[in-house]
Amino acid sequence: MKASQLALIPETHLRLFPEATTEPLTLFLDEIQTVPGWESFARRMLDEGGHELFLSGSSAKLLSGEIATSMRGRRWEIAIHPFSFREYLRHHGEKIPEDTQRLTHRQAVRIDHQFAEYLKRGGFPEAQGLAPVEQRQLLQGYVDVVILRDVIERHHVGNVTALRWMVRRLLGNPGGLFSITKFEAALKSQGIPAGWESLYEMLDHLEDAFLLKAIPVATDSEKRRQVNPRKIYPVDFSLGPIFDRSTKANTGHALEVAVHHELVRRGADVTYVKTKDGFEVNFLRRNADGRQSLIQVCASLDDPGTLAREVRALEAAAAEYPAVEHLLLTAESRLPFPEVPGPIRILPAWRWMLQSEEV
């Protein structure tokens, strides 16, 4: 389709409804980025005054650079994510507690169970209620469509083999560190040629298509940010088991991805922390209002060794980022939680997700 043909839409509407010639139109245009030059049509409709345009598409650049340039400030940007835990509960007809601090033990246990199911099913609306085999086929189809339509066709990627290897590596290790240099070496060991420049472009295309998000290490040094590996988070934690060859349930990975997505929904700037002593904290969250939080994620705190390791990492990071909030989020609400140093708060991840941003 050519941009000049877009004008046929309002023209046809006027021919069908001539009595509405003075009324503004509301147009819904999906995958608009596939029409070269669509920007001129959109600007012309807005310049006429009164018209409303809803432009949607599976491209992050459409939502940011292209629309920002084309609409010249006359836009409201909305990214649609898979279900949050709150949306998941509402979709399944479950009551959302008004105050998560005032729950009976029975209520807390029920939400524990619902949260565990959420981490298994994921947040894609169409996947809710499907049998495991059907859900797997649906999610695999989502990934295939992204690879073919939103990456290979849109960006004319020629090295499809390297792209598919990258997708398997990234989605199969959610929350893992990813280095382009090491991945390039791994491809060469398998006899798959790929330059680091093309691999960087592939990673950028996968982010642009909303399949995953790569977050950098927390640092003010651009050089350090570039040389350190990035952490990769799929668009939904339900994609991980499809590409994880171990076939083992990994609640910790799913929980970390879920927490990352909640931070993104809240509009936070998200990085991970690597301390001078080599300790790692999952997230450093910076809000637009200047508030910061160090957030560590752990599925279970039952093992004393695991608890000590997570606390030690938070304390090491706190020495480099003083006067910030320290959170340790876990998958369950079994009380009492173990004793930890004063600045650190332990919360069930679902309680944190259901609270308002100010809490």
Amino acid 94: pLDDT: 92
Mention every residue, 6+ apart, whose C-beta is less than 8 A from residue 88.
114, 118, 121, 123, 128
Return the structure tokens found at 322.
């003083």
Phi first, then psi: what are they for 157, rounded to 5°?
A: -75, 125
Q: Report the half-sphere exposure of 240 (CA within 13 A, side-chain side).
A: 27
Cβ contacts of 124-127, under 8 Å, gap ≥ 24: 124/82, 124/83, 124/236, 124/238, 125/82, 125/83, 125/91, 127/238
Average pLDDT over residues 308-322: 92
Tens digits of residue pLDDT in 3-57: 899 999 999 998 999 887 788 899 999 988 788 888 889 888 888 878 899 988 8
pLDDT reading at 198 higher than 80? yes
Q: pLDDT tens across 116-165, in order?
A: 999 999 999 999 989 999 999 999 999 999 998 889 988 899 999 999 99
One-letter identity of residue 264: V
254 and 240 Cβ atoms separated by less than 8 Å:
yes
Residue 177 CB neighbour total at 10 angstroms: 15
Q: Give the whole-angstrom CA distance, residue 345 versus residue 220.
A: 27
Q: How many residues can be counted in the chain? A: 359
Q: What is the three-state SS of 116-152? A: HHHHHHCCCHHHCCCCHHHHHHHHHHHHHHHHHHHHH
Cα–Cα distance for residue pair 193/185, rounded to 1 Å: 9
Preceding amide of 241 cis, omega within 30:
no
Q: What is the pTM of this model?
A: 0.87
Q: What is the pLDDT of residue 338?
A: 85
